[in-house]
Amino acid sequence: MRVLGVDPGLTRCGVGVVDGVAGRPLRMLGVGVVRTPAEADVADRLVLIERGLEQWLDEYRPECVAVERVFSQHNVRTVMGTAQASAVAMLCAARRGLPVALHTPSEVKAAVTGSGRADKAQVGAMVTRLLRLDAPPKPADAADALALAICHIWRAPATNRLQQAVAAHRRTAPPREAAVRTLKGSA
């Protein structure tokens, strides 16, 4: 599976492409950052992010895009910019018919380091080790994007099995209304 990880941000949007399957060595295909000038209008910055992500999608042809789920922060301006960049990444993937997976920072940290409270240095060190790199990717946004891709590769098989089990259950289970009527009628 080839995954484009996106660590969204308006000033620095981390991107990283990892290829592999769970249980086998992973391979980094590319890593970088899409940058926008802080003094530019937000709409123009979003266009620059879209163009940058489209270039990554064209060059690496991922099968899936993993984006960091925006979480509540105290700084509303920061969370808004992150959410807007996240939406651009999801839009670029959806336009191409690619599945989008959202992972929280804690999920990514836990998947890569074993602890959902790991700091950026620990994430960078584990990404370096897992991908057999000579040094941690810089800046941290780039390492975080690779961590997102790794997290998705490792979690996707279990997530897919769960989704298939739920879908199978829905096909065989009686409709909810009938089940509720049955319970009420038997009382």
Catalytic residues: 7, 68, 141
The CA-based diameter of the chain, rounded to the nearest angstrom, is: 67
The closest of 97, 111, 96, 120 to 14, measured between CA atoms, is 120
Strands (E), 48-155: 64-68, 100-103
Token couple for 102: 């959202």
Could you count the other beta carbons within 10 Å of the beta carbon of residue 22?
Answer: 13
**Which tokens belong to 104?**
């929280």
